[in-house]
Amino acid sequence: MKITMLSILLVSLNVMPTSGYATSSIGCEGINSDAAVSILFGAGPMLNAIEVEASLGDRAISTRELDGAEKAYILQFSADQRQLSLELMDDQADQHLASVRLLRHLDDETDYLQIGILSFNGSAPVAITCFGP
């Protein structure tokens, strides 16, 4: 089964929490490419990524069981008002699978702007734009 950007976005909308939960998410789309990223953040005093789904062309990677996707784990995550960095590894912890790098402009008076790069091991990096907190 081919996992496309649209299917990942639809899945992420189905698992988005209701307003009663203290979680949030970021969704990203490729610029002139078939790429998508969805990052679900958990509640707590520090921002932490708890679930990630990414696709680039015919390849998909996910931290949760998703038919047709490579299983991944979050190796490293950091984020603040200016940047976000995420690294995914395989389930044997011996291979780097993907990375996401975002530059973020977040303030209360203007729209948020989040642009960056999605890179899968073995593929050329692609530009992405993101929406969400």
CA-closest candidate to residue 120, choices 50, 37, 39, 64: 37
The per-residue pLDDT for 4 is 53
Coil, strand or helix: which one is 8?
helix
Coil, strand or helix: which one is 130?
strand
Residue 14 has pLDDT above 60, yes or no: no
User: Which amino acid is located at 77 in the chain?
Assistant: F
The per-residue pLDDT for 59 is 95
Query: Would you place residue 11 in the very low, low, confident or very high pLDDT band (cuts 50, 70, 90)?
Result: very low
Residue 13 has pLDDT above 50, yes or no: no
* pTM of the predicted protein model: 0.78
Number of structural domains found in the chain:
1
Range of the domain at 93: 5-131
Residue 7 has pLDDT above 50, yes or no: no
DSSP state of 24: E
User: Which amino acid is located at 100 in the chain?
Assistant: V
The per-residue pLDDT for 71 is 96
Taking the CA atoms of 128, 131, 132 and 133 in sequence, report the sign of the dihedral they define.
positive
